[in-house]
């Protein structure tokens, strides 16, 4: 059977080409991301750096680890998704060949061995190429991290010999996992039913599809319900996981959903070609579902992730605008409080300075764990005059000396009155918690007293009776901006790392899904030569057959876009609900420009591939194919 697997794999290699490329990319990304992640996690902070510089470097490495971890998860998911859909479709197309194999004496186990052998070959080839491709990908990821300022210049992942075994296991594992369900179903179909396309062979929505689809759908609903409850830093990864499960549920249930969504297309598809395209769209359920799946993944991830990060950004901007009660913000290179106070029209001034420090988190029996943290040193009275703050407990009036006000995001496990171990340049080793701050998206996670304000840059938040006159008077001291201008600039800076992570993940998802789209259309066209020939014999020209196939493909694009948009909308709504519960601001950001770009990309890729593959499939004179079929 393994020899036969090699023969069928060699004869049908164009059909498996897309899956090979997918495994190649998956192995390369897993290998490079894992090496880069391990290198970032074990990187030492160079000696001689200030506490602020060391904290910034550790924060960058932490963001790099987050990015690489998300890349690993996305690479695994998309690779298994594409390979499994490819094998499910190709096995369905080969049911007559497999039925003949059964009739000649092959047992169910031998059919499974044949298909698993093909997957094993695919995994070996993809793994070998992926290991080689992983080296330049690792260097590319290193340059990406340094360009995003997440790692110091010259950073790159370090090679480790054990990664070869991980890469090989990844490639073979993805390929074998992708074919398991399809091989099991193919071996259980009775050969006569497969030959006549009856019974279980003709049934698309099997019992296992129902169970798996409903299971993932229920899991998606549960995750979306949990997103608002989790809130904070956990909302984004939980929403991304909800996208994974929703996409899986829609893909598994696609044979049921596609005909329902395609039904209204009859009002749009007119004429002889339109009727033919609509009929093919509704009856070719396996083909339509397989082609719509990668489009759905593309829209769900790109639009969903862009919408979630956009919602976070808009909510952060709204939170700052709500809580900042001032007219101007002045950034200076040093302390100039007296000059700011003397400016015309100034009625209140809050002098603020950023402080980087290390804080210990109480790990219970495991002791203390040190984490990088950032705070703003302020005079509490002036700060309350220029900022709206609703404390959870305590009072800012006690914020003087060796004290601190903390939010849950800055450190967990500490309560009002606790002595918190800290490491601050030139400061005390312990700070007493005098106030608990609310959860925040963009505000400071901790406040320190003015006694711990370091030398260096300052920010002055100013209220004035005449903002224009005050701005003129402050112009010589530093950069003066209105609160609206400063909020836009500050929020963009705060969201920069998240935007970099989103761009990297979206770029990877787009590469994967474009390959999957092309692969699905090519596989579908490879099995339609006789169908196209029959259409031409009945009177259609070659151009009309191409147009009908193109219309059908564009209908599939619409279906994939609608299902993907539904998944993206659900995850964006979950994120918006989490944000509203966290900071009390209801906002939803829909990336319409990106959505339009994704739809255009899907139309161009699927449309162009459909035209080219249909032209190739109709090259042979139709009478030859019809006669051969008879």
Convert 289-316 into a string of H (helix), E (strand) and C (coil). Answer: HHHHHHHHHHHHHHHHHHHHHHHHHHHH
> What is the C-alpha R_g of the chain?
30
Percent of the chain with pLDDT over 70: 83
> What average pLDDT does range 619-625 have in this prediction?
67
> What average pLDDT does range 342-364 have in this prediction?
85
Place of tokens 């210990």: 360
Token duo for residue 283: 């009856």
Half-sphere exposure of 594 (CA within 13 A, CB side): 23
Query: Is 208 a domain residue?
Result: no
Query: Is 236 a domain residue?
Result: no
Give the model's pLDDT for residue 387.
92
Half-sphere exposure of 78 (CA within 13 A, CB side): 35
The number of beta carbons lying within 10 Å of the beta carbon of residue 419 is 13
Alpha carbon 62 to chain centroid distance? 18
Which of 477, 509, 529 represents a domain boundary (last residue)? 477
Instruction: Please tell me whether residues 376 and 439 are part of one structural domain.
Output: yes
Q: Name which of 279, 292, 311, 303 is nearest 250 in CA terms.
A: 292
Instruction: Please tell me whether residues 408 and 364 are part of one structural domain.
Output: yes
Whole-prediction pTM value? 0.78
Percent of the chain with pLDDT over 90: 16
> What average pLDDT does range 16-41 have in this prediction?
82
> What average pLDDT does range 165-174 have in this prediction?
86
Q: What letter does residue 451 receive in the DSSP assignment?
A: G
Instruction: Please tell me whether residues 346 and 286 are part of one structural domain.
Output: no
Mean confidence (pLDDT) of the chain: 80
What is the spatial distance between Cα 64 and Cα 144, in angstroms, rounded to a whole number? 10
**420 in Cβ contact with 368 (< 8 Å):** no
DSSP letters along 371-400, please? EEEEEEEE-HHHHHHHB----SEE-GGG--
Instruction: Please tell me whether residues 341 and 472 are part of one structural domain.
Output: yes
**281 in Cβ contact with 291 (< 8 Å):** no
pLDDT at 236 over 60: yes
pLDDT at 198 over 50: no
Q: Name which of 489, 490, 460, 466 is nearest 338 in CA terms.
A: 460
Residues for the chain: how many in total? 630
Query: Is 229 a domain residue?
Result: no
What is the spatial distance between Cα 585 and Cα 473, in angstroms, rounded to a whole number? 35
What is the spatial distance between Cα 357 and Cα 380, in angstroms, rounded to a whole number? 20
**292 in Cβ contact with 559 (< 8 Å):** yes
Which of 477, 505, 528 represents a domain boundary (last residue)? 477
pLDDT at 2 over 60: no
Instruction: Please tell me whether residues 503 and 408 are part of one structural domain.
Output: no
Return the ∠ at Cα 560 (arms to 556 and 564), rounded to 5°. Answer: 170
pLDDT in tens, 267-311: 667 677 777 777 777 777 777 777 888 888 889 888 888 888 888
Q: Between residues 585 and 14, which one has the greater pLDDT? A: 585
Token duo for residue 426: 């030139």
What is the spatial distance between Cα 606 and Cα 560, in angstroms, rounded to a whole number? 11
Query: Is 441 a domain residue?
Result: yes
Token duo for residue 357: 């420090």
Distances 64 to 85, 156, 395, 424, 510 between C-alpha atoms, Å: 31, 11, 37, 25, 21
Instruction: Please tell me whether residues 299 and 321 are part of one structural domain.
Output: yes
Query: Is 219 a domain residue?
Result: no
**348 in Cβ contact with 382 (< 8 Å):** yes
Instruction: Please tell me whether residues 21 and 167 are part of one structural domain.
Output: yes
> Counting runs of H as helices and runs of E as strands, what totals does the chain give?
22, 10
Give the model's pLDDT for residue 217.
87
132: left (phi over 0), alpha (psi -120 to 50) or beta: alpha
pLDDT at 189 over 70: no
Query: Is 500 a domain residue?
Result: yes
pLDDT at 201 over 80: no
Q: How confident is the model at residue 327 (pLDDT cuts 50, 70, 90)?
A: very high
Q: What are phi and psi of 446, to 5 degrees?
A: -155, 150
Share in percent of the chain as helix, strand, coil (round to 5): 70, 10, 20
Token duo for residue 248: 């899986």
Q: Name which of 418, 402, 440, 444 is nearest 360 in CA terms.
A: 418
Q: Which domain holds residue 347?
A: 334-477
First vs last Cα of the chain: how many Å apart? 30
Torsion on CA atoms 446, 449, 455, 461, rounded to nearest 10: 70
Instruction: Please tell me whether residues 416 and 542 are part of one structural domain.
Output: no
What is the spatial distance between Cα 617 and Cα 565, in angstroms, rounded to a whole number? 32
Instruction: Please tell me whether residues 280 and 170 are part of one structural domain.
Output: no
pLDDT at 126 over 60: yes
pLDDT in tens, 572-605: 888 888 888 878 888 888 888 889 999 999 999 9
Q: Name which of 293, 241, 258, 299 is nearest 84 in CA terms.
A: 293
Q: Of 34-38, 157-161, 258-262, 403-407, where does mean pLDDT reach its minimum?
A: 258-262
Q: What letter does residue 232 receive in the DSSP assignment?
A: G
Which of 445, 477, 509 represents a domain boundary (last residue)? 477
Place of tokens 């390959």: 515
What is the spatial distance between Cα 210 and Cα 617, in angstroms, rounded to a whole number? 34
**118 in Cβ contact with 9 (< 8 Å):** yes
pLDDT in tens, 82-120: 777 777 766 666 666 666 666 666 677 777 777 788 788
Give the model's pLDDT for residue 199.
42
Query: Is 235 a domain residue?
Result: no
Q: Name which of 250, 305, 240, 236 is nearest 510 in CA terms.
A: 305
Place of tokens 């695919």: 122
Instruction: Please tell me whether residues 492 and 469 are part of one structural domain.
Output: no
> What average pLDDT does range 548-572 have in this prediction?
88
Q: Between residues 381 and 82, which one has the greater pLDDT? A: 381
pLDDT at 328 over 90: yes
Query: Is 233 a domain residue?
Result: no
Instruction: Please tell me whether residues 316 and 255 are part of one structural domain.
Output: yes
**329 in Cβ contact with 455 (< 8 Å):** no
**589 in Cβ contact with 573 (< 8 Å):** no
The number of beta carbons lying within 10 Å of the beta carbon of residue 381 is 13
Instruction: Please tell me whether residues 469 and 601 are part of one structural domain.
Output: no
3-state SS class at 472: helix
DSSP letters along 111-123, please? HHHHHHHHHHHHH
What is the spatial distance between Cα 8 and Cα 236, in angstroms, rounded to a whole number? 44
Number of domains in the chain: 3
């Amino acid at each position: 059977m393994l020899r036969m697997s090699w023969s069928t794999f060699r004869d049908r290699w164009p059909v498996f080409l897309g899956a090979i490329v997918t495994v190649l990319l998956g192995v390369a990304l897993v290998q490079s991301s894992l090496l880069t992640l391990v290198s970032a996690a074990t990187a030492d902070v160079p000696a001689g750096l200030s506490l602020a510089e060391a904290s910034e470097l550790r924060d960058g490495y932490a963001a790099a680890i987050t990015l690489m971890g998300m890349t690993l998860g996305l690479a695994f998911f998309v690779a298994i998704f594409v390979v499994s859909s490819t094998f499910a479709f190709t096995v369905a197309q080969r049911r007559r060949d497999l039925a003949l194999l059964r009739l000649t004496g092959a047992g169910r186990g031998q059919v499974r061995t044949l298909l698993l052998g093909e997957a094993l070959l695919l995994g070996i080839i993809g793994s070998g190429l992926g290991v080689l491709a992983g080296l330049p990908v690792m260097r590319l990821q290193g340059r990406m991290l340094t360009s995003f300022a997440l790692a110091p210049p010259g950073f790159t992942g370090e090679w480790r010999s054990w990664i070869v075994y991980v890469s090989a296991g990844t490639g073979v594992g993805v390929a074998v996992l992708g074919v398991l369900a399809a091989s099991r179903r193919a071996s259980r179909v009775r050969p006569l039913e497969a030959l006549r396309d009856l019974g279980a062979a003709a049934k698309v929505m099997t019992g296992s599809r129902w169970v798996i689809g409903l299971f993932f759908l229920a899991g998606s609903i549960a995750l979306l319900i949990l997103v608002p409850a989790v809130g904070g830093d956990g909302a984004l990864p939980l929403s991304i996981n909800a996208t994974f499960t929703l996409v899986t549920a829609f893909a598994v249930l696609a044979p049921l959903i596609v005909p329902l969504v395609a039904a209204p297309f009859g009002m749009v598809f007119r004429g002889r070609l339109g009727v033919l395209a609509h009929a093919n769209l509704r009856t070719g359920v396996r083909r339509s579902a397989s082609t719509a799946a990668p489009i759905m993944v593309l829209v769900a991830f790109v639009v969903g992730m862009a919408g979630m990060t956009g919602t976070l950004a808009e909510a952060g901007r709204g939170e700052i605008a709500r809580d900042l009660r001032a007219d101007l913000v002045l950034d200076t290179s040093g302390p100039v409080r007296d000059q700011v106070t003397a400016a015309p029209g100034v009625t209140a001034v809050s002098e603020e300075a950023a402080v980087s420090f290390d804080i210990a988190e109480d790990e219970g029996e495991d002791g203390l764990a040190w984490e990088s943290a950032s705070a703003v040193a302020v005079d509490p009275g002036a700060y309350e005059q220029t900022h709206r703050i609703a404390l959870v407990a305590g009072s800012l009036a006690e914020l003087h000396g060796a004290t601190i006000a903390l939010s849950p995001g800055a450190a967990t496990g500490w309560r009002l009155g606790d002595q918190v171990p800290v490491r601050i340049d030139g400061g005390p080793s312990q700070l007493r918690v005098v106030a608990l701050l609310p959860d925040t998206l963009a505000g400071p996670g901790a406040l320190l007293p003015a006694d711990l304000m370091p030398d260096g840059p300052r920010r002055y938040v100013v209220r004035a009776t005449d903002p224009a006159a005050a701005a003129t008077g402050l112009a010589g001291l530093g950069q003066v901006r209105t609160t609206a201008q400063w909020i836009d600039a500050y929020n963009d800076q705060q969201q920069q790392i998240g935007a970099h992570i989103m761009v990297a993940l979206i770029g990877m998802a787009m590469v994967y899904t474009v390959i999957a789209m092309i692969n699905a259309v090519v596989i579908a066209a490879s099995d339609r030569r006789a169908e196209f020939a029959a259409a031409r014999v009945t009177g259609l020209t070659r151009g009309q057959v191409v147009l009908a196939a193109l219309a059908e493909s564009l209908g599939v694009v619409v279906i994939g876009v609608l299902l993907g948009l539904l998944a993206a909308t659900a995850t964006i709504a979950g994120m918006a609900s989490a944000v509203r519960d966290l900071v009390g601001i209801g906002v939803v950001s829909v990336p319409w420009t990106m959505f339009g770009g994704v739809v255009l990309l899907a139309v161009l890729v699927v449309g162009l591939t459909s035209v080219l593959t249909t032209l190739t499939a109709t090259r042979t004179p139709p009478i030859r194919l019809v006669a051969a079929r008879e």
